[in-house]
Structure 1
């Protein structure tokens, strides 16, 4: 379809026996008008341009302007359909990965929240246990230590609430010669400690 091709200068219609040209600025000129050009400037827009003869040997980027518009639309439609199909496939894959990652993050977040609750619960239990232990525990003191064949038996007696802690702290231990870890005492060394403490 060439009925729309004409010279943009003299408006001569396209005929096979007349050469037509196209400039890089997008104007079509017939052979007669081109012969009148004395410079590299376009006769229409006066811009510096290159000129190429219309033929079947045009570059693809120029030929596309002379193909039927319907063909160009069909090609464009196919190109759009091809690109859209691939874009949607990629989008579905990305969406699936996103949903999977989102699910894993939600699971991890729930685990973290559960662990925080458990940690808080354990802290409260520990504090309560420490308070109860400090309020009910009674200090224990040794009442006798006897060594038999390298072993020792220790009897622990709790300090009553009426016993003065100052008296207990002021009590002096026996001489070091009676200590079980003193070699001079031998294997039969004994620690002689009174059963009663000064009040």
Structure 2
């Protein structure tokens, strides 16, 4: 069985496009995962994207995960609330090095949605996309930050992106197979208080 999926492509073309969201109160910090770890990245991917139809990486081998994470310029920034992972942003520079950085994955674990964390995490991750070349000597300074979201993502995803200053530059519609949303485990996204909010896939 297939379903119709609409994908929206958004961009910023200047650091001045970013409209940051203030940090929510409480014990929230955002740190870069400095050691490539397929185990940790796969945990984030399944925990955040399980109820948002993120399935494209589920079949990757350990070696394929390492290849993605060790690509020069690739970065994962993780939000922690009281020491617990709450969400993440994964950045992917486009090659050949032309100054384009993609926010390839972004979202929150279900238990942390609806707390005002998503806007701040997206703001922080976008800022890190803009200054990525500062941490990777020899890379071209970022000229454009891109991401995409689709009709399977959370209902507030597009609103969050637009509020942060992203602009629509393309829309595509296609048929794709309907898939189950496995979550971190079956039903994980349907726990008390769990709602779809934000997420972007590649």
Which TM-score bucket, shorter chain as reference? under 0.3
Higher relative contact order structure (alpha carbons within 8 Å, sequence separation ≥ 6): 2
Q: Which has more helix, going by share of residues?
A: 1
TM-score under structure 1 normalisation?
0.17
Q: Which has more strand, going by share of residues?
A: 2
Larger radius of gyration: 1
TM-score under structure 2 normalisation?
0.17
